[in-house]
Amino acid sequence: MLVQNSEAMALSAALLAVAGDLTRRIHEGVAARGFEGLRPAHGFAFTRLAPDGATVTDLAAHLGVTKQAASQLVDELVRKGYAERRPHPGDARARLVVLTEEGWACTRAAEEAAAEAVRAWGEVLGEPELRALRASLPRIVPGGPIRPAW
Amino acid sequence: MLVQNSEAMALSAALLAVAGDLTRRIHEGVAARGFEGLRPAHGFAFTRLAPDGATVTDLAAHLGVTKQAASQLVDELVRKGYAERRPHPGDARARLVVLTEEGWACTRAAEEAAAEAVRAWGEVLGEPELRALRASLPRIVPGGPIRPAW
DNA sequence: AGTATATGGTCAACCTACTTGACCATCAGG
DNA sequence: CCTGATGGTCAAGTAGGTTGACCATATACT
């Protein structure tokens, strides 16, 4: 029992360390590609806006914050030229927030940075272990929202 | 290349989702065991204080914040009865922050909550995959500090 | 149709965790 | 001893979030 708990803590600590490292690497990689003044929270917003845009309320639910906070975040993205608010087709109350071309470029930069980080893992672990990770992790929290958690 | 990037994103997203889920489960598990009013950041502080205590400056470095912020966090832990400041043996400037008995109880609660979460993973993945995870993850960021990262 | 209620969004005020800057006490090296 | 570096706190400012009030539009119910 004591051993089991300490094993669980070791696994948990390693996971959180890797997650922290990944977040930092993506953030730095994005900044290094010229997209500055962005925080990780913006990245999580991008993942929701990317496909077809989203409403402020959708975004708030995705990020786990109030819609007021989400609205402020959108303000910031709009001010910096990464997103824009358009009228919502089929609901005059709502507004559809979509990425600008600059927003898409930033999304691609984040993907490149993530790929770099994952390549670094591959060099340490080797291909088979990396594939095992790729197979295991998505099964743990299947539909899990990707958002800041602490 | 496009495939590689999107694979990397899928792996990254899964990892962040698992990390977020783990953080949430530990937090809720600790609260469910009667330790309320604690944020995840406090947990990260506990992991540093646990062995033999630490100075405020040590703690600040561990958490990646200023020593003033660390000091405020210690104030809070002291006020809630989880830690206490003692004179530092061998350095009259410094003060050693150590866990109280309540602090140790909370640490054990966090370990139990983490063990519960990991057990849930085991039920989804099966023992072999879980062991593979336990073997792989610590190799990615060997000495990585466990701290909030976004 | 007509009213009532729910929903999307914003404005304003407040809260909290963190920062920067100044400062004091103590340590360590000449 | 001085002198600079280090551990720690106090005070004030900032950033990102919250709660609460409010308007416009959509949806449901007679």
pLDDT tens figures, B20-34: 899 999 999 999 999
Residue with tokens 């990689």: A29
Residue B17 to residue A115, Cβ atoms within 8 A: no
Please name the residue of chain A whose CA is at the shortest distance from the CA of residue B17: A146
Whole-number Å distance between alpha carbons of B35 and B103: 10
User: What integer pLDDT is reported at residue A89 of this predicted model?
Assistant: 95
A118 pLDDT tier (thresholds 50, 70, 90): very high
User: What integer pLDDT is reported at residue A148 of this predicted model?
Assistant: 54
Of B24, B144, B145, the CB nearest to A149: B24
Which of chain B's residues have a Cβ under 8 Å away from the Cβ of A21? 140-141, 144, 149
User: What integer pLDDT is reported at residue B107 of this predicted model?
Assistant: 95
Residue A122 has pLDDT above 70, yes or no: yes
Of A10, A16, A125, the CB nearest to B139: A125
Q: Is the CB of A61 under 7 A from strand D?
A: no
Q: Is the CB of A57 under 7 A from strand D?
A: no
Closest CA to A30 of A49, A46, A51: A46
Whole-number Å distance between alpha carbons of B63 and A36: 24
Question: HEC string of chain B?
Answer: CHHHHHHHHHHHHHHHHHHHHHHHHHHHHHHHCCCCCCCHHHHHHHHHHCCCCECHHHHHHHHCCCHHHHHHHHHHHHHCCCEEEEECCCCCCCEEEEECHHHHHHHHHHHHHHHHHHHHHHHHHCHHHHHHHHHHHHHHCCCCCCCCCC
The upper half-sphere exposure of residue B1, i.e. CA atoms within 13 Å in the direction of its Cβ, equals 3
A2 pLDDT tier (thresholds 50, 70, 90): very low
Of B8, B121, B124, the CB nearest to A115: B8
Please give the angle made by the CA atoms of A145, A109 and A103, to the nearest 5 degrees.
75
Residue B3 has pLDDT above 80, yes or no: no
Q: Which two tokens stand for residue A31?
A: 């900044």
Tens of pLDDT, residues B101-125: 999 999 999 999 999 999 999 999 9
Backbone angles phi, psi at A88, to 5 degrees: -90, 125
Residue B142 has pLDDT above 90, yes or no: no
Positions of strand D less than 7 angstroms from a protein CB: 6-12, 16-20, 24-27
